Amino acid sequence: MKKRTTRYKVHIFICTRQRDDETKSCAEGEAPAVKERLKTIAEERGWKPHVRVSESGCLGVCAAGPNVMIYPQKIWFTGVRLDDCDEIADEIEALLSD
């Protein structure tokens, strides 16, 4: 094992988990589209290599999903829709300017 530090100032995780039973999951919402939109915004705004957009498995709060979390700032967005991406992007932009 090798311990390293991340080069990212902001790491965005979007849960896209799809459950196999009738329990609510983030993928039932617009989570896959949210992930793609945030990736596009990151490219358009030139955030690389300071921001990473990643798909994640279950974050443990599917009932409130789709969920987006931003680390290391410990910011969570729940009930996220595609229309929320610009607001999330503005939040990230503010984090990058700090």
User: Model's pTM, two decimal places?
Assistant: 0.89
Q: Where are the domains of the chain?
A: 12-97
What is the residue-level pLDDT of the chain in tens, covering all 98 positions? 999 999 999 999 999 877 777 777 788 788 999 999 999 999 999 998 999 999 998 888 888 879 999 999 999 999 999 999 999 999 999 999 97
Following DSSP, what letter does each residue of the chain receive, concatenated?
------S-SEEEEEE----SSSS--GGGTTHHHHHHHHHHHHHHTT-TTTEEEEEES--S-GGG-S-EEEETTTEEE-S--GGGHHHHHHHHHHHHH-
| Architecture of the CATH domain 12-97 | 3-Layer(aba) Sandwich (3.40)
